[in-house]
Amino acid sequence: MKKKFNIKAFEVLVIALLFISVYSCSDDDNPIVTTGPDAKSINGQVTFVDTNFILTGGTYLISAYPSTGWPPMAGPAAYDTIHVSRTNNVLNLIYNYKLVDLNPGDYVVSVGFRKSTGGQSPIMSIYGCDTLRAIDSAGVACLFNPSKKATIGSNNQGTAGIDMLSWSDTTKKIY
């Protein structure tokens, strides 16, 4: 009888020490603090205002160009593919994106369509100069000098909430 008691007492002691150990290792006093978007990244959402997507022969892209290199004469500093998809046989019109590995500076963010065959790729939206604001209040096209830029800070701080409207129909390009 005494032997059974010692084994039970030993088991209880081990379990108690295990619980104390696990509890003391918890990090409840130091919650994880989110400080904003990932470093060197731009993210946001593109909402398409029509459903005239081109489903073959190319790819929709969201791209970031250094503001000093706008309008673009070369490739973007970063880009992400917008995968046109359906949910319950209905085209999705809202896409989240994230552009990464960007150096500090200001960027013009655009939505375009890259043709598989090459050639000029139409741009259907620019942040600050999208389908809603293609003409500024003075009646001037804003595409050559977009009023809004996405900024990566000198400390590599990323930026979030770069949301924009865009045409999917490439015949309604703004550039």
pLDDT tens, position by position, 65-113: 999 988 888 889 999 999 998 888 888 999 999 999 999 999 999 999 9
Which residue from 76, 41, 42, 40 is spatially nearest to 61, judged by alpha carbons?
Answer: 76
Please check whether residue 37 lies inside any domain of the structure: no
Please check whether residue 35 lies inside any domain of the structure: no
* Confidence at residue 162, expressed as pLDDT on a 0 to 100 scale: 95
The count of domains in the chain is 1
Residue 123 belongs to domain spanning: 42-172
* Confidence at residue 146, expressed as pLDDT on a 0 to 100 scale: 81
Please check whether residue 102 lies inside any domain of the structure: yes
Q: Cα–Cα distance between 131 and 135 in angstroms, integer?
A: 9
Please check whether residue 95 lies inside any domain of the structure: yes
* Confidence at residue 135, expressed as pLDDT on a 0 to 100 scale: 58
Please check whether residue 96 lies inside any domain of the structure: yes
* Confidence at residue 89, expressed as pLDDT on a 0 to 100 scale: 85
Residues 6+ apart with CB under 8 A from 111: 46, 60, 61, 62, 63, 82, 123, 124, 125, 126, 164, 166
Please check whether residue 17 lies inside any domain of the structure: no
Please check whether residue 31 lies inside any domain of the structure: no
Which residues of the chain fall below pLDDT 70? 1-36, 130-141
